[in-house]
Amino acid sequence: MSQTEFFSSAGNPIPRPTLTSFQASLSGCVIHPAEHDRYDAARVTWSGALDSRYPAMIVRCATTADVVRSIELARSYDLRVAVRAGGHSLTGDSFCDGGMVIDLSAMKRIRVDRERRIAHAEAGLTVGEFDRATLSLGLATVLGECSTVGIAGYTLGGGLGRLMGKYGAGCDNVLSAEVVTAEGTVLRASPDENPDLFWAIRGGGANFGVVTSLDYLLHPTEPVLGVILSYPLSDVRPVLTCLEQFMMSIPDELDVTVDIGNPAYLAIGATEPTTNLTVSYFGDLKTGEAALKPLRSFRKPLTDGIRAMTYHEMQNLTDATVITTFGLSGGSVLAECGFIERLSPQVIDAIEAAIPDAPECFWITATHYLHGAVRSRPQQINAFALRRSGFSTRFFSAWRGSHNAETSVTWVNGLHAAMEPFSGGAMYLNYLSKRDDEATRTAYGSNYQRLVDLKSRYDASNFFSCNRNIQPRKAPAI
C-alpha cells in the first residue's frame, strides 16, 4: 500500500500519513469504502436504498472540533464536501461521489433549561429524540411529526409542523446556532452575533456552513384535541370540498393534514384505500370542539375518535416512520413533493383522475396548511420565504420487486406534473426533490438575492455546494 494511493475527488493525492494523523485527531471516526458493510450502512437513505454516490470517506463527527478538522482536510486537498445530520435527506444532499461526507448523526447531546424554556440541541438529533427530552418536562418546539426526521435539516429549510399556526415555523423558534464556516471558523449566529448569518441559516438551508447545534425556544404542551376522520375513498371530492371551505377561517390553534391512499399497506399488507383528515387543536378543549364541529358533522365518517391527548401522542398519531421501516426491509419508496394554494375544483379533479390508475400502494398528502403565526410574520424576518396560505404536498408510492417499479414511478411523476400548475409559484425547500436552479430560486422566493449576497460573503468558493444550492456571485475578472 503506497503512501499516496488515496486521491481526492479532484485527483489530488493525499498522503497516507496525513490520513492517519487526521483519524488520530478525531474524537469520532472515519469510515472508508474498504469497510464494506459499515460503509454501506452509512450510505442508506430515508427510503432504505443505498445511495448511488460513493464518497471517498465518511467522517462520523463527535464534536465541533471534528467538523473543523474535516473542513481543514477537505480544503487542503480540494475534497468535495456533503453534510449529513440526523435524518432523512429527502432531497439526497447528504452524499457526494469521491469526496467527504461530514456526518453529524452521532452528535446527539441535548440540554433543556426548563426555567428559561430553551433547549440546546446538537445537530445529529432526530425529532423523536428531541421530543422525548423536552416532553418529559412538559415542553416542545415546532417540529415535524415524523420521529426519524433530523432536526437540523428540518429547521434550516424552514420547518413546518402542527404547532406553526400558534408559534411560527421551526426556524422562527431558533434563538441561536453554532456554525462552522467554509474557512473552518466556529461562529455563534444570533440576533446579537453575526445577525446576517443568523438570518440566512433560518430558511437558507445548508449553504452557509455546518450547523453543529441550535438553541430552540420551547413552549408549554397543553392537552391536545386530536382526531383522525376517516372516509371511503369514494368521498374524496365532498371531503376536500368541505375542507377547502373550512380552511378559510380556521383558528391559529388548529392544524389539518390530508392523507389519501393506503399507507398502512407498508406495515400490514394490502388495505382498502381511504380518505383521512388528521386534525389537532392546541388550546382550550371546549373551544376546540366547537371549532371542529363543522368538519366533523358535514358527513358521517368511518371513524371519528376525537379525544384529548398529550402532544406526544399527537406527534405519534401519523408518524411516517413506517415508510423508512419499509425501505430498510428491502422495499422501494418514491416521493415527489410540491405546493398547492387551494383545494380548488381543478386540484380535486386532478386527484380524482389519478386514483383509478394508482399502484397497489399509494399515498397523496396535503400537509400543514400555512396560516396563523407562520403566515403572518414578515417574509423578510428570516430566509424562510414560504409565508403564504396553502398546503405542502407529497405523492408517494411503495413497492417490492422491480416488476412493480415502472407503474409506481410513472404514476407518481404523472400526478406531480398534473399538480404543478396549482402551486402559485411556491415551493417548500425541504420538499424540493430535484436539483434544479429554477425550482431552488422558487423555494427561496423574494429572499433569494439577499441570500446570494450572504453566500458570496460566507462561502465565496461554494465549498458547501451539495445542497439546494445558492450560487455565490463570481469575482470580477481582473
**pTM over the 0.85 mark:** yes
pLDDT value at position 307? 93
Summarize the confidence of residues 156-184 as an average pLDDT: 97
Strand, coil or helix: 424 = coil
Q: Is the pLDDT of residue 305 over 80?
A: yes
Alpha-carbon distance of 437 to 441, in angstroms, equals 6
| Grid cell 492517519 in the structure block, residue | 20
Alpha-carbon distance of 89 to 143, in angstroms, equals 16
pLDDT > 90 in the chain, percent: 72
Summarize the confidence of residues 101-106 as an average pLDDT: 96
pLDDT value at position 7? 65
Q: CA angle 311-316-320, nearest 5°?
A: 140
* CATH code of the domain made up of 224-431: 3.40.462.20
For the chain, give every residue range classified as CATH 3.40.462.20: 224-431
For the chain, give every residue range classified as CATH 3.30.43.10: 11-103
Q: For residues 180 and 430, is the Cβ–Cβ distance under 8 A?
A: no
> Hey, what CATH class is 11-103 in?
alpha beta
Residue 167, all three cell numbers: 408559534
> Hey, what CATH class is 110-220 in?
alpha beta
pLDDT-derived band at 4, boundaries 50, 70, 90: very low
Task: Kindly compute the dihedral angle of the four CA atoms of residues 161, 191, 441, 394, in this order, to the nearest 10 degrees.
Answer: -10
For the chain, give every residue range classified as CATH 3.30.465.10: 110-220
Burial of residue 461 (number of CB atoms within 10 Å: 0-12, 13-18, 19+): exposed
Alpha-carbon distance of 212 to 198, in angstroms, equals 14
CB proximity list for 433: less than 8 A, separation 6 or greater: 90, 91, 92, 335, 336, 337
CB proximity list for 306: less than 8 A, separation 6 or greater: 225, 226, 227, 289, 292, 296
* Full DSSP string of 76-121: HTT--EEEE-SS--TT-TT--SSSEEEE-TT---EEEETTTTEEEE
